[in-house]
Structure formats: structure tokens, C-alpha cells
Amino acid sequence: MACERLTGKCPEDKSQYLTITMNATVPCNEKGTSSDPVNIEKPAIGHVGSTSPDDTTTSPHTMMFVLGVLLVMVVFLVLQVGMFLVLRHHDKLLKRHGRMDETLEFTNKIADRCQEQLSQASTLDSADRRAAVVYADTLTILFEDVGKVVEIHQPLVETYYGPGRLLQLIQWLQAECDEQASRIVDEFIRNREFSLKSRQVQALLHRGSGRTSTAHERLDPRELDVMLAECTLLNSRTELYLRFIRKRVLNDLQTVSNDEKADADKVAVLEKLLRECLLSRRIQELIGNYIVMEEYFMRESVIKAESMDSLEQGSHTSSMVDDIFFILKKCTKRAISSGSVDCACALLNHTTTILEGDYQDSLYAKLRAGFPSGSFDVAQAYSMLQQGRFPTSSSDTNAAKLEFMTTVNNIEVSLEYIQSLRRSLSEECAALLIQNREIGKDKLESCLNDLGAVTHKFKDVLDYGLSQLSSSAVKPRLKPWVDSFLSVNHDIREDEFSMYEANDPFVQNFIMNLEQLLAEFKDFMTPSNYDALVSLVTNEVTTQLEQAVLRSVFNRLGGLHFDKELRSLVTYLTSVTQWTIRDKFARLTQMATILNLERVTEILDYWGQNSGPLTWRLTPTEVRQVLSLRVDFRSEDIKRLKL
């Protein structure tokens, strides 16, 4: 029929018409050709399956057939176009990710650049300002190259594979990063003689104290200093890189999956990769040896600072205090800067060990000999200061006194430095914890608390030194001065009272002697220690003066004069210290109040409910004892008191 439509030929049945257009019929003549004109007629009603010269529309069956053909053609076309797009997309995927050409290009570029940087590092002039950290710089460049690959290709991975696929890319990249990082570490170990120095340090530590090793065997701490700084830099850059990788992958995983178990599994894979990759293992090995060498460096530097100790004129402390705490702060902060919590804890613990061990012991040993008795020659002490060296001769009394006071000052300043060091390191550790997502917080806080607890031990040593000073230099000299109180009559007449006011026989001389005593120490002690010494002097004065008062007798005028003596003494001691000392005279002040009473029963106006804000430091027995010192009070009246 298709051929007949195209040629215009008709079948044998001339009564049939061939439909060539919608709603149009062409009658055929005897020769099989169409005749003109073409008449468009309506089909006969009721004639099914045939057309008549009167038909003007197609039948419903013909319409359905045409529509079916058109539908088949549309479906076929859609399938052809879809297949074309799928094949084209698949071809793109193959071109981008199915071949190894581009991946090999990435790894080759990273490897070539790393080799180039290592070559430059090996030929770098030692005078170059980056020579000391050239391997840390090389490792940093490697990490930057890997980071750039992640930055550039993460969008491509998301586009062609969908989000959540970055972990696979990282696993592939990390293998190349491990290989190149291992080469850098090998070069660092070889050129810095890291392994050799590590073995030497371990041998020296195993043998015992570095003090017993010969100069040839002992490593110069300055040689280690530069290498240790670069080692911590290697670790800190690695920690920074691993944090970058972790953050990228975790962010990528969070964008796609709602399956908690699947997410947890992928995170576990990531953490295992970062923890067990060759890069982490090599750096962890380095940092383990670093800790041992840093401890050796710290210890040897402290020993050297002690051996070179000196006292400059005008300084209350010797040089070793500043030197030692500079070393401790430098080493501990360097360990914290590595980015490793374990490394930071190790050096914090070692700092604590040095402070409460060797350093505290050396200070305590200088105090155990005690403070030599006798007066202190200020002029000779200044002469020693001008020599610029810390005196060590125990046979020289003035030298021994100067050494003792300087040691007490060293302890007091060390106590302040420990507190300052702990505050400073706490800030550094807080930043470290933020970087490490609060991992290891309890360990760090424990180490910092141990360091802070050292202050209590140094406070005990300081109290011991000051008590030694008081026992040797203050107490023996105070006793004869206070005993002179007993030689002054306090059972006096009006004329004697007036004479005492014009020319006091006790307190003026006593204050003068105290002033001379304190002047011997003021220029050689820190302000805090001097105030502490004044406090100890005050304690000793009040204790001995109480005993002297209880051995004396008074009348009312004598009690009034004693009150004036006491006020003069309190005024002087208050003027020479920043500390409050009035409370130390509370008992003596209450004794003076009792000795000024006109009659025995007047004490009831100040006792019990009538005491007001006054807190009595004397017991009822002691009150009666003081009342009995008044020669004009009867013992019967005193006994009848209800206190």
C-alpha cells in the first residue's frame, strides 16, 4: 500500500478509492492513474470499512492506527536520545576517572616537587635564615601540595560521583603523601644527625646524672636547641595537616548520609587512616625521641645555670633564678607548640620534677647550714657585691650571711615565677586543647595542677629559711633588749611619770636597736621577704615582751606609761612594713587596758556582753593574772570577779 500511495496506482477494484491525505480521496481510472479533479466527499453513512465518493473524513480505526505509529516513533526517538546522553556521560567519566593518566600526573607532580625541595634543602647555605627549619618548610610545602589537590578536585568528585566520596580520594592521596613525607623525615634524621644524638642522650641518661659525664661525652645543649625546635615544628605542621584532612572529610560526610551507623563506620575508617598512616608513625617516632632529648636539654641547661650562678650589685637574687625559669618556660612552651598533648604533658611533668627535685634541693641545702650569728658588716657585704660573683666560702661569716639571704630571696622569687609559669602555660594549653578538640584535657589539667602544687613546697622552704634567720639573727639579739624592760620601774610616782615622758628609759632605745637590726637586712632582701622578717621580729617582740610584762609590777601610773610605750612601739613597726601588724599586739594592748583600770570591777565594763566589738585574746585566768600585777589591787577583789 505504501508503494501504491507513492506511485498513485490503484487496485483492480475501480470502485475503491486510495486515501492519500487526511479527509481526501482520489478516484482511479481504468489505466490505474488518478483522475482530475480531486473531489473531497463525505463517506456514506453506515458503510464500514469502505469509502465512497461522498466521504470527507477518515474512519476511527484509521485515526488510531496513525496515532499508534506516531507514539512508537516518539518512544524510539526518546530512547535514541537517552542512549546518546548516557553514552556521552559515561565517556566523560571514563576520560576523567576511569584512566590512570591523570592520577599518575598528580602523584608525579607531588613527587617531583618534593624531590626538588629536598634537593634545595640539601644545598641550602647554613647562613640562610631558613636553614634551621628547612625540613619543616619542605614538609609544609608537601602538605600544601596535597591540600591543593583536595581543594581543586573535591568539587569534581562531588559532581561526577556525588558528595560523600572524598574519603576515597584522601585514601589515595595519603599513600603518596606518606611516601614523600617519609623521605623528608629520613633526610632530616640524616642531615641533623638526629638518631646519633638521640642515642648519645639516652646513653648519658642511662648512665646517670650528666654531672658525671666528661666534657667530651656530654652533648652541648646549644647543638640540640636548634634541632629540637625544628622537630616540634615538624610535628605541629603535621598536626595542622591532619586536622585539615579530618575537617574536610567530616564536612563531606555530613552533607549526604543520614545513616548513623554508616557515618560512624566511615569516621572510624578516617580516624584509623590518620592515626596509622606512615606519616603519623614516622612523626610519632620523632616526637618520642624529641621528648627524651628535650628533657636532657632542660636538665643540662639548669645544671649549667647553677654552675654559672652570680650575684650582680643591686640585685636581690642571683642569676640562676632568671636563667632556670627562662629555660623551663622555653622548653615547656616549645613542647606545647608541637601540637601533641602527650608531648606537652611529658615536659610539664619534667618541669615539675626539676623544680621540686634538683632545684629545690640545691636551695634547701644552702639554708640547712643556718644563718651565722652576730652582726652583719654592710660595708664588707657591698664590697663582695662589687666583685660580681656569688660568694661560696662558708668560712667567711659575711659571705655566708649574704649567701643565706640571697638564697631566701631566690626561693621567694622562684615561688612567684612558678605561679606566673603556671598561668602562662595554662593559656598555652587552653589553645592546644582547642586544636585537639578537648582531647587530653584531664591529663593536661592534672599536669598543671602538679606544677602549681610545687608552690606549697617552696613556701615551706621559704618559711624554713625565714625561721632560721629569725632564730639566728633576731631572737638572740632581741632578748637582752626586751629584758631591759625589767630594769625600768613601773610602780612610779607623779614626778617619775613626768621624767619618763621627757626621757623614756626603755622604748626609745628599744626602737633604735630594732631599727639598726632591720637596716642590716633591708638592702639585701626582697620587699616581700623584708616584710616577712618584720613580721617575725614583731612576733618575737610581742612574745618576749609579754613574758617581761608578766614579770613586772605596776601601779596605775605605771600602767599608763606602759600603754604609751606600747603605742610608740606599734607605731614604729607599722611604719617599716606594708603588712598589718597591729593584730599581733592585741594581747599586749588588752594587758595595757587592764593595767590602766582604776578599780578591779571596772574590767566588767569591757568583758562579756559589754565587750562590744572587742574580741578578748586573754583567757579569764590570764585576765586575773594581769590584774594581780597591779600593786594597788587586792587579791580578794580579783578572786571575786565573775568572768
**Averaged pLDDT, 571-589:** 95
Is residue 525 located within the same domain as residue 625? yes
* Structural domain boundaries enclosing 358: 323-476
Is residue 186 located within the same domain as residue 146? yes
Condensed to tens digits (0 to 9), the pLDDT of residues 376-397 reads 555 555 455 445 444 444 447 7
Is residue 282 located within the same domain as residue 337? no
Secondary-structure percent of the chain, ordered helix, strand, coil, rounded to 5: 75, 0, 25
Number of neighbouring beta carbons within 10 Å of residue 196? 11
Residue 317 lies in a domain: no
Q: Which of 103-107, 386-390, 509-513 has the highest mean pLDDT?
A: 509-513
Number of structural domains in the chain: 5
Is residue 158 located within the same domain as residue 296? yes
Residue 195 lies in a domain: yes
Is residue 256 located within the same domain as residue 341? no
Which carries the bigger pLDDT value, residue 537 or residue 86? 537
β-pair partners for 24: 21
Is residue 567 located within the same domain as residue 551? yes
Residues ≥6 apart with Cβ < 8 Å to 544: 478, 479, 482
Is residue 525 located within the same domain as residue 442? no
Tell me the C-alpha distance between 180 and 177, whole Å.
5
Residues ≥6 apart with Cβ < 8 Å to 28: 9, 10, 11, 14, 16, 17, 18, 34, 35
Tell me the C-alpha distance between 631 and 598, whole Å.
12
pLDDT on residue 49: 41
Residue 63 to residues 18, 26, 44: CA-CA distances in angstroms? 15, 19, 18
Residue 132 lies in a domain: yes
Condensed to tens digits (0 to 9), the pLDDT of residues 333-365 reads 999 999 999 999 999 999 999 999 999 999 999
Cα dihedral across residues 273, 277, 283, 285: positive or negative: positive
Tell me the C-alpha distance between 618 and 624, whole Å.
10
- Confidence band for 1, pLDDT divided at 50, 70 and 90: very low
Query: Does residue 38 register a pLDDT over 50?
Result: no
Residue 612 to residues 378, 592, 601: CA-CA distances in angstroms? 49, 18, 17
Query: How long is the chain?
Result: 643
Residues ≥6 apart with Cβ < 8 Å to 513: 477, 481
H/E stretch holding 311 reads none
Condensed to tens digits (0 to 9), the pLDDT of residues 584-606 reads 999 999 999 999 999 999 999 98
Residue 179 lies in a domain: yes
Among residues 260, 276, 307, the one where a domain terminates is 307
Which carries the bigger pLDDT value, residue 212 or residue 550? 550
Residue 541 class from Cβ within 10 Å (0-12 exposed, 13-18 middle, 19+ buried)? buried
pLDDT on residue 72: 66
Residue 482 lies in a domain: no
Mean pLDDT, all residues of the chain: 82
- Confidence band for 296, pLDDT divided at 50, 70 and 90: very high
Three-class DSSP category at 26 = strand
Cβ(435)–Cβ(243) below 8 Å: yes
According to the 3-state scheme, what is the secondary structure of 235-260?
HHHHHHHHHHHHHHHHHHHHCCCCCH
**Averaged pLDDT, 66-73:** 72
CATH number, residue 288: 1.10.357
Is residue 224 located within the same domain as residue 365? no
Tell me the C-alpha distance between 405 and 411, whole Å.
10
Tell me the C-alpha distance between 299 and 221, whole Å.
9
**Averaged pLDDT, 186-192:** 94
Alpha helix locations (H) across 494-526? Answer: 494-502, 507-522
**Averaged pLDDT, 158-185:** 87
Number of neighbouring beta carbons within 10 Å of residue 212? 10
Is residue 233 located within the same domain as residue 381? no
Residue 314 lies in a domain: no
Is residue 140 located within the same domain as residue 258? yes
Residues ≥6 apart with Cβ < 8 Å to 156: 96
Residues ≥6 apart with Cβ < 8 Å to 263: 253, 254, 257
Is residue 43 located within the same domain as residue 79? no
β-pair partners for 25: 19
Cα dihedral across residues 346, 347, 348, 352: positive or negative: positive
Cα angle for residues 416, 418, 422 (degrees, 5° grid): 120
Unique residue bearing C-alpha cell 583536595: 150
Residue 312 lies in a domain: no
Among residues 262, 283, 307, the one where a domain terminates is 307
CATH number, residue 546: 1.20.58.1970
pLDDT on residue 394: 43
Which DSSP state fits 552?
Answer: S
* Of 150, 152, 330, 336, residue with least CA distance to 244: 150
Condensed to tens digits (0 to 9), the pLDDT of residues 201-215 reads 999 888 765 444 555
Three-class DSSP category at 306 = helix
- Confidence band for 168, pLDDT divided at 50, 70 and 90: confident
pLDDT on residue 324: 97
Residue 384 lies in a domain: yes
Is residue 40 located within the same domain as residue 189? no
Among residues 46, 72, 99, the one where a domain terminates is 99
